[in-house]
Structure 1
């Protein structure tokens, strides 16, 4: 179970989500979705309480803050943050270490094989996005944090990668928090949708429960 209580100028919420679930954070730009991911990642450290599977990662009253590198997380944010002096394969190896089999699997699964020896400057935005996703998964994380991880892909590849994400989430027992503006993507992937606006949770539940019979999906 992940428990978050936040009282900051941007976020004012209390949220609980089940471990090993795929949770979609959905809402307009500026609603606090990315800020929430950054809190869980350990990139923000004031004004909130965070507990993951019974372990307290952040508690301002007790002055607890677990550093990002000790959280067992994989992250994809919208800047991708690939190391520019390293090739795709080297970026994955830095995250993973010596598990060449894992690296080869992710390179193939994310259509990166022809690009494995290229540096980020020689990749398109969509290719960089896939490389960042591969690097996040190379860590074998317990918790996966994804901010619009497929937004730069074409429709055909995006649909295939949605299936890949869902499969690896289930088979590896991940807890995944995923931000998307695509309601159709949310409906396909989510166990739980957390709808947000103005830094607050406005709805939580299965996609059909949150959106009911409205919209383009149901």
Structure 2
């Protein structure tokens, strides 16, 4: 290894992968976000978009006549959602959305096919145990009350949905994001989950993958003797 390579390796060895970048898009889990508001249009605005609307309707009618799915349905009621974070996946490959509140949502793998609702069975969970017999556990996500409506209380509803939202912070800087659980579930430790999507320079084929890697980092484990297990459930 040359001197330049050695210097580069030495510089990288000092990088703290659990530490979020200096400038990121940040949200606390208890942040309610900015609700989507309806907008109004003037008569001139409406007249100016008539050609575009007619062309779109003609294209949709043609696609339906050929038995194909249309790419955009202007009459579909879309889910009002202001909790979206950085999605999983590369460029041009579809994506799996992830909320800044920790859960997975908005699956879009194939054109015109969407799954907008949160998939509550897909979750990270943390289990912490100590030699003195104390133990802590929680799902590492904070779905809204609306998302938890109607779930089976004997199944998913019985999970440990007791995350303290004020202690959790989401950081996003494409193609990476980090979620920091400071004092969750154990009040004396910190867990960081790093998400990396495959954005590879000069490798378009490698970028077109609907996948990502997750890296889990822990802090204060040695100061407070404990055992921590992180599990990812995919339903």
TM-score, normalised by the number of residues in structure 1: 0.24
- Which of 1 and 2 has higher RCO (CA within 8 Å, sep 6+)? 1
The structure with the larger Rg is 2
TM-score, normalised by the number of residues in structure 2: 0.23
Higher helix share: 1
